[in-house]
Each structure stands twice: as C-alpha cells, then as structure tokens.
Amino acid sequence: MKQSWIALFPLSILITFISTAAEQKVNKSCECGIAGKNRRIVGGTTVQPHEYPWLVSLMLGPKLHCGGAIITDLHVLTAGHCITFGVNFRDLTVYVGMHDRLENSFITLRVASGIKHPSFTSNAVRDINDIAVLTLNKKLKFTDKVRPICLPTEAMDFKNVGLTVAGWGKTRQGALTSSRYLLETKVQIVDSDKCRKSSIYRDNLVPDTMMCAYSLGKDACQGDSGGPLFATHRMTHNKKWYQVGIVSWGIDCAMPDYPECGRPSDTVVSMRIVGGRRTAPHSYPWTVAILKHNRMHCGGAIITNKHVLSAGHCFKWDNYKIMEVLVGLDNLDKLKDVAHRNISKVVIHEGFTSTAVRDENDIALATLDEPVEFSTTILPICLPKPGEDFSSKVGTIVGWGRIGVEKSSSKVLMKALLRILTDEECMQSQLKEHLKPTMMCAFSKGKDGCQGDSGGPFIVFENDFRYVLAGVVSWGIGCADPRYPGVYTKVSHYIDWIKKHSKDGLTCDS
C-alpha cells in the first residue's frame, strides 16, 4: 500500500480505457456523482455516513488494502498497484456502502476480473499508468448509499478547484491500524514545476499521466491507495462530483517538506528488497538489523523483550560477540532513537546442517545483553500455532538486504509481498532435491529476499488483525530468479524449541 501523491491519467485516455474495459452503458434511472443526503461535519474530517456513496474499500482478508470508486453498476476504478506485487484481484473483497468498518450494514462482493493498464510499470518509488478497472461478480443496485461517481470530460479544468480525497487509510505516518470511519481531507493540485523541485519527484514524476496534490498537514496515507481524488465542477453548477485522479504514490504522509524541499535522500529511489517497496517507518516494529563490523549482516525478529529469532547460518560461522543488534530501526543513517544491543548468547538449532546449496533446521535464538522496552517502535512478533500451514497465503518479507545480486544493502527498511507456495508447488521447482518438510517456498515475479535479508522475518497477516511469523529467510539461488523460489524456515515447526529457549523473556501477553 502506497502513500501520499495522486496519479492522474490524461482524461481522454482514462475514458477510453474504462469504456474498453467495462463496455460502459448508460442507466437513465440514476445520476452519477450526486452526494448522499447527509453533509460533512462542519470543521471536521469525519465524513457523514454515505455522503460519498461511490467510495469502496478493497479488503485483503480482514486488512484494508486499497480504496476505489464505483463507476458503473458492475465496475470499480482503482490503482494498478493494488492488484500487483503479489496481490491478485481474486484475493480481494469489495466493501460497498460502508462508513463504519465495525458495522455490518455494508455489502460485500468479490472481484470477477481485474484489468491493469497495459503500460503499467513500477520501480521502488513510483508507478506509471497506475490505473485498473475491477469487474464485480454481481451488479449493484443504486441507492442513496451506493452510487457511481462521474467521469470528467476533456473540457473540465480542476487546477484551481478544491479537491477531496477520502478513505479509511491510516490517520498518521507510522500508524499500525487504519481508520474505523470514512475520513476526508481537502487538497489542491500543485504545479508540476513546483512538485519537481525535489529530486525524488523530478526523477519519477511523469507530468502527462501524474499530478501532485497537497495541503500542509493533509494527505492520503497507507490504505487510501487506489481511492478517488474528486471534486465538483461549475459546468454542472457544482451539483455533481467527478473523479479527477487516483491515489497512487508518494513519500511519507502529509510531510511539510514534500513537494517543496529536496528530502529525503535520493538513495530512497533505488534502495529495496528485490522488487520491493520502502516501508512506512516503524510499521514492522519487531524487525531488527544484526550488524557485523558496522555492516549489515542479517535480519531478525523480536519475540520477547530479550530474544531475537533469526537464521542459524547467521551465527554458525561468525562470532556473535562482535555483532550488534539495532532495535527500533528504520533508517541505517538515522540512529538517534534506536536501541543498540550486544548479544550475550546464541542457540543454534541442534539439527542445523549445511551444504553448498542449502541449510536445514536453519533457525537460531539470540539473547540480547540487555532487555528492550516495548513501545510504538519496538514490539514482538506473534508466533504461529504449532504446525500451522500458510500455503497459498500472501506473506510480507522485510529487511535491509541487498537490492540485487551484486548491489549494496538498503539504508531503509524495505518490504515485498510474496505468495507462499504449497509443498507440492515447491517440489515442482528446480530446488526439489534440496528441500525438506521444515522448509517452505515463496515467490512473486520479480521479487525476493536477497543477501543481508537472511534471518529476517517473513510474516502473514491473520484474521485476528495480528501479524505472525510464518518463516525465517533462509536460502535461495540468486535473487528473484523464477526458476528458484526463495526458501524459508517454517517457524510453526519449531514452536516448542523456541519457547524452551526463550522462556526467561517477556512478551506483550506476559
């Protein structure tokens, strides 16, 4: 899920693309873009229930993934990146007519098909042609609570118009949860020349298909991706709402230095897990970096206030006494509020063995020399149930590892979404000779963990709104090579062993 800026397709291309994908027909019994009967709370940011009846949320299991807008009784407009990076349109559930996420009065539908723009492309920072049309599995019945938004014409100019962006996304940078209620904020289009003063945006902004929108202290944030940027227009006497743009990408949420100033460092553009994305700072507060001689060595995950779970191979041939663990870390160049710990003890699984290709029982527990205090930036990861199977689920890998086979480590924490393969699928790969039942494979085209991500957490978001540690980054051949999926140690196979060697530590439940 992305952040802050708004992507705009040229209106003529946008309309052509939607018409082709949706085979749009006109229903003369309803009007698009007519707001609900309720109006906005004066001076507030909470939207009155069903004021914007075209807004939908796209859910990935119980988790808010993206936003979208109803454009016909069968189609939703969203961002292309919402059905990329390991997420298939079939994985999504569409919540229609929703205001309060805890109420059950809204409609839930599945997605029958999803079409990205054929020229969609992406790098670590930005997406080009970031647009997609989703076809619902059932037709909608339009009411005061469910209604389409209008599409603009080429003659409409929105440069000096107040624009609205709304969604259930995170309410601040680094927040762990999304908003319960539908929220809105007002922004304005920023001139492309002003937007491109920052080298981040100068190198990644495509003025023909993107635009910047901003207001100090106001922004879209994680979870609002794919949602509409919309406004009324004088051509229809400000009575109808038109979709002007789609929330696409940006750096941080409502930061005053964007787009005017040239921060953050330009290195953000190229730093990533292979095929991955920069995480929102401290959004994975259990992830630690293990350094050796002040250089990235391995990753790990906090499981108690004094224990870090990592890979056995991270310690088997190296002296842990010369290692340092950075806890509460996001950026390796910004260590002011980061906890530094040494390692007092390491237990490598007694069944650990290694060949030139693979490591077996590749798991280890490192005991910190001094406990850490849990906070918003330092929290333990949940352990899975013994024997829990994560086959066919989408997991998230995070780390500061190399961004390519022969490239340097990332300075900022990166993430990538990968599909966990079934054991049968894993055995069909070219790694089958080296696989054991205690290992699992994961892969998405163009994405992988790489050197330096070893030992780092591979996590899955569960139905109880918690992340659990499904795997530990273990081994692989190359990086993001489709012939060789990444291999991870199955944490659920080692729960008794983990608890035995970490029983003197405290977790959040203790």
Helix (H) or strand (E) holding 114: strand 107-116
Name residue 260's beta-bridge partners. none
Contacts of 103 (CB under 8 A, 6+ apart): none
Cα 189 to the chain's mean position, in Å? 25
Distances in Å between the alpha carbon of 455 and those of 133, 398, 444, 451, 469? Answer: 38, 10, 20, 10, 12
**For residue 24, which of 78, 70, 80 has the smallest C-alpha distance?**
70
Q: How many CB atoms lie within 10 A of CB 444?
A: 22
Contacts of 359 (CB under 8 A, 6+ apart): 311, 312, 313, 352, 353, 474, 475
CB distance 144 to 53 below 8 Å: yes
Contacts of 255 (CB under 8 A, 6+ apart): 4, 173, 219
Eight-class DSSP state of 13: H
Helix (H) or strand (E) holding 201: helix 199-202
Residue 97 CA to residue 111 CA, distance in Å, equals: 16
CB distance 162 to 232 below 8 Å: no
Catalytic residues: 313, 362, 454
Residue 374 CA to residue 296 CA, distance in Å, equals: 24
Eight-class DSSP state of 209: T
Between strands 339-341 and 75-78, the pairing is: unpaired
CB distance 108 to 93 below 8 Å: yes
**For residue 14, which of 179, 177, 131, 126 has the smallest C-alpha distance?**
131
